[in-house]
Chains A and B, each alone.
Chain A
Amino acid sequence: MIAIVDYGVGNIFSLSSSFKSIGADAALTGDKKEIEKADKIILPGVGAFADAADKLKRSGLFSFLQEQCAGGKPMLGICLGMQLLFEKSYEYGESEGLGLIKGSVKPISEYIEPGLKIPHIGWNSLQFPSEKNELFKYINEGDFVYFVHSYHGADCDDSLIASTQYGGTLTAAVADKNVYGTQFHPEKSGETGLSILKAFCEL
């Protein structure tokens, strides 16, 4: 079973439907016992970093998720959920993240040519480093995924597994052992996105 962490942040409907469509057993839950029983964890999220980190802390899930990952359970953070994996974020001041991925979350404006629209919204293509991560075993370099974001993961070269070009190089996905994150929305990226979720289910 895959636990989709429910902590009052984000649009969960499509995520649940995506897993259903690939035949995976996924449940939306904020209950620690349920998450503990799950084989894998999905950390969704839309909105502001500090607010989401606060909600995780208030629900007691912040340190719990850190422990679950330390035990080797695969976890995939999506969009803001990916950003929360980092050590800290500079969105509206500085806030602490889960620290499961080395690096910090910074505004994309520091990484792209001036004059481009922010947020980076729409379909963009993925580039992989020399070795392709198993999360992407069903897709190819150059495949398109759907992004909506103004911040991205920075200083994370060691865990970078995909990047995208938007007047500069932006972090599209990261991984460190059993912890994975995608800045884009696999649940909104058509069959390419479903293939990524399928690969995560098979880890």
Chain B
Amino acid sequence: MITKRIIPCLDVKDGRVVKGVNFLGLSDVSSPVSLADFYSKNGADELVFYDITASSDGRKLFTDILRQVASTIFIPLTVGGGINTIDDFDRVLKCGADKVSVNSGAIKNPKLVSEAAKKYGDQCVVLSADIKRVDGKYTVFAKGGRENTGMEAIEWIKRCTENGAGEIVVNSIDTDGVKNGFDIPMLKAVCDAVSVPVIASGGAGCSQDFTDLFKAVQGVDAGLAASIFHFGEVSIPELKKKLLKDGINVRIRKDYSYDFHK
């Protein structure tokens, strides 16, 4: 049976991996290429690579870094940040991305999702939504969580899947950086509304948070986190051992008869 995916997220600014608490207060962590290689060899099922400043100041992704990452790792790679046009899709796909994540770009141009899905297939288009409760309502935020769009989040996500978004990343701004667990109620609401894969993001503080996520929201396909992996607070092989013990199906690496490093 298909496994639940564990996805480290590499937020990249100026060619370095960073992770802010509640999207603010950035601290330099490491090189995207060496981190991606490390994760690929240590049980990550997929990587997400965001240029976190791109939507606010229009900065383009550093495509040479992306190319280096994509030629180093052989697991699925999703790229986001500053994706506003079909040309942006083209640019990152040519550099080795498998899926492209759109956020502010889809809010600015509602046709972006459908045009991209038509050209590259639904499986290639990931909608990333930054969601925060405003007066008790799930609300979509743009520009890295800085701008309230006033749009109701579940309706927005449904509309994007109808237009061809093949996967949804749900970033809860309310739980991001708090390290007190994923946003279970928000994820339940999204999973009840759509039939495409849903990736949970924001709030993981320890291994138990992943068990709680997959037990509480069966429709969730993957758990995404950054700092707890980057700082070594949670190791992915250990996390996967725990998930298996807790009855959650995950991919475990086996020994291979062929040694690639010979």
State the A residues within 8 Å of B (CB). Answer: 11, 13-14, 17-18, 20-22, 46-48, 117-124, 137-140, 142-144, 146-148, 165-167, 187-195, 198
A138 touches B256 (CB 8 A): yes
In the complex, residue of chain B having the shortest beta-carbon distance to the beta carbon of A16: B71
With A14-B96, A139-B256 given, is the CB distance from A188 to B75 under 8 Å? yes
In the complex, residue of chain A having the shortest beta-carbon distance to the beta carbon of B4: A122
B1 touches A124 (CB 8 A): yes
A194 touches B3 (CB 8 A): no
Consensus secondary structure, chain A interface: mixed
B231 at the A interface (CB under 8 A): no
With A121-B123, A122-B2, A140-B254 given, is the CB distance from A13 to B96 under 8 Å? yes
Q: Which residues of A contact B221 (CB under 8 A)?
A: 117, 121-122
B94 at the A interface (CB under 8 A): yes
B:88-137 near A, CB below 8 Å: 93-96, 98, 120-124
Q: Which residues of A contact B257 (CB under 8 A)?
A: 137-138
Q: Name the contact of A117 in the complex, choosing from B71, B195, B254, B256 (C-beta under 8 A).
A: B195
With A11-B93, A14-B98, A124-B2 given, is the CB distance from A193 to B256 under 8 Å? no
With A142-B254, A195-B258 given, is the CB distance from A190 to B70 under 8 Å? no
Q: Which residues of A contact B121 (CB under 8 A)?
A: 46-48
B96 touches A194 (CB 8 A): no
B45 at the A interface (CB under 8 A): yes
B40 at the A interface (CB under 8 A): yes
Q: Could you jot down 25 A-B contacts, CB within 8 Å?
A: A13-B67, A17-B71, A17-B74, A17-B96, A21-B260, A47-B120, A48-B121, A117-B196, A118-B195, A119-B122, A119-B166, A121-B2, A121-B166, A124-B3, A137-B257, A138-B257, A140-B254, A144-B251, A167-B1, A187-B74, A188-B75, A188-B76, A190-B40, A191-B253, A198-B258
State the B residues within 8 Å of A (CB). Answer: 1-3, 5, 40, 45, 67, 70-71, 74-76, 93-96, 98, 120-124, 166-167, 195-197, 221-222, 251, 253-254, 256-258, 260
A21 touches B74 (CB 8 A): yes
Report Cα–Cα, A92/B197, bound state, in Å.
Answer: 23
In the complex, residue of chain B having the shortest beta-carbon distance to the beta carbon of A140: B254
Q: Which residues of B contact A17 (CB under 8 A)?
A: 70-71, 74, 96
Q: Which residues of A contact B196 (CB under 8 A)?
A: 117
In the complex, residue of chain B having the shortest beta-carbon distance to the beta carbon of A147: B2
A13 touches B74 (CB 8 A): no
Q: Name the contact of B1 in the complex, choosing from A140, A166, A192 (C-beta under 8 A).
A: A166
Q: Which residues of A contact B253 (CB under 8 A)?
A: 190-191
Q: Which residues of A contact B195 (CB under 8 A)?
A: 117-118
Q: How far is the CB of B233 from chain A (nearest CB, A)?
A: 24
A117 touches B197 (CB 8 A): yes
Q: How far is the CB of A21 from chain B (nearest CB, A)?
A: 7
A146 touches B76 (CB 8 A): yes
Q: Name the contact of B197 in the complex, choosing from A13, A46, A121, A198 (C-beta under 8 A).
A: A121
Q: Which residues of B contact A189 (CB under 8 A)?
A: 74-75
Q: Which residues of B contact A117 (CB under 8 A)?
A: 195-197, 221
Report Cα–Cα, A14/B124, bound state, in Å.
Answer: 15
A165 touches B1 (CB 8 A): yes
Q: Name the contact of B74 in the complex, choosing from A47, A137, A139, A193 (C-beta under 8 A).
A: A193
In the complex, residue of chain A having the shortest beta-carbon distance to the beta carbon of B119: A47
Q: How far is the CB of A52 from chain B (nearest CB, A)?
A: 11
Report Cα–Cα, A192/B253, bound state, in Å.
Answer: 9
Q: Which residues of B contact A14 (CB under 8 A)?
A: 70, 74, 96, 98
Report Cα–Cα, A142/B195, bound state, in Å.
Answer: 27
B5 touches A122 (CB 8 A): yes
With A123-B45, A188-B75, A190-B74 given, is the CB distance from A144 to B96 under 8 Å? no
Q: How far is the CB of B205 from chain A (nearest CB, A)?
A: 25
Q: How far is the CB of A194 from chain B (nearest CB, A)?
A: 6
Additional 8 contacts, C-beta under 8 A, given A124-B2, A137-B257: A14-B70, A123-B3, A124-B1, A146-B75, A148-B123, A190-B40, A190-B74, A198-B258
Report Cα–Cα, A191/B257, bound state, in Å.
Answer: 11
Report Cα–Cα, A165/B258, bound state, in Å.
Answer: 26
In the complex, residue of chain A having the shortest beta-carbon distance to the beta carbon of B198: A117
With A11-B98, A144-B3, A188-B98 given, is the CB distance from A121 to B256 under 8 Å? no
